[in-house]
Structure 1
Amino acid sequence: MNKISYLILRMAIGLSMFGHGLVRLPKLSGFSSWMVKSFETSMLPEFMVVPFSYALPILEFCTGLLLLIGLFTRQALILGAVIMLLLIFGTTLIENWAILPSQLIHVAFFAVLLHYIKDNTWALDTKMGK
């Protein structure tokens, strides 16, 4: 992969994560209520869904921001992949198969970017010697 391609892919996944978090942060309580309702018939107890529903937008926003500026890129990619794996698990528990492809595509982005991390030259990481 070349350095420009890497930057484009990092920006794409970064914008997706940043945008997901950004639009949910101002309506965090409503988002949490929606998520709890979505999982009410699943095997996950509410006491596990509630903290995750509040943490998710913050984690998405932070992961996206780090990827957009290229800071702690490896860690942000790993965090993004873990977030997506948790979302995939939740998606399967509520049998929402329609959103599964989007989550799988996100995981693929994270995996490819981790594999080609050496091409991450347009990033604050390189300026800071990380």
Structure 2
Amino acid sequence: MLRDHKAIAYALMRLALGINIFGHGFFRILSGVGAFANGAVNGMDKGPLPHALSLAFLYATPFIELILGILLTLGLFTRLALIGGSLFMIALTFGTTSTQNWNGAGTQLQYSLVFFVMLWLVEANSLSVDGMMGRKNV
């Protein structure tokens, strides 16, 4: 199994993505979800989306990131976590472009590309909890 370079590369990239997304959520929760949400909503108020909708999404964001990050780091329900992460990036991009924050949208597009590649290559996900349990397309 450790001779499978594709599986090793996939596991390392999955860990990098998982830890990155986990860190976003964990440290936002640790430093206060309200502080994050209320700070970020100020930028969102420049766009056409209703304040209450933006604020609700921003309050949920750290928990979504935390859950996705844990699942990806472990390689548990990897395919579903990658699909969820992709949909989450689409939602973030919609909000970011509504405020014409093109730099933020570009960063989110980079994350979307990583999610795409990871989902495209999910069959290499053998070094994971899913792989240990014999699950290929979960």
- Flag whether TM exceeds 0.5 (same fold): yes
TM range (shorter): over 0.9
1-side partners of 2:69 and 2:86: how far apart? 12
> Corresponding residue for 1:81?
86
Offset of residue 35 of structure 1: 2.1
In the superposition, the TM-score normalised over structure 1's length comes to 0.94
Describe how 1:46-125 pairs up with structure 2 within 5 A.
46-125=51-130
Offset of residue 48 of structure 1: 0.7
> What is the count of residue pairs matched by the alignment?
130
Counterpart amino acid of residue 25 in structure 2: G
In the superposition, the TM-score normalised over structure 2's length comes to 0.89
Q: Which residues of structure 2 form unaligned runs of 5+? A: none
1-side partners of 2:128 and 2:67: how far apart? 16
Counterpart amino acid of residue 22 in structure 2: F
Counterpart amino acid of residue 7 in structure 2: K
Q: How large is the Cα RMSD of the aligned pairs?
A: 1.2
Describe how 1:6-45 pairs up with structure 2 within 5 A.
6-26=10-30, 27-45=32-50
Offset of residue 118 of structure 1: 0.6
1-side partners of 2:22 and 2:39: how far apart? 20
Name segments (4+ residues, structure 1) moved above 4 Å: none
Offset of residue 77 of structure 1: 0.4
Equivalent residue of 1:99, what SS?
A: helix
2-side partners of 1:101 and 1:46: how far apart? 23
* Aligned mate of 1:2, from 2, 6, 20: 6
2-side partners of 1:31 and 1:40: how far apart? 14
Offset of residue 72 of structure 1: 0.4
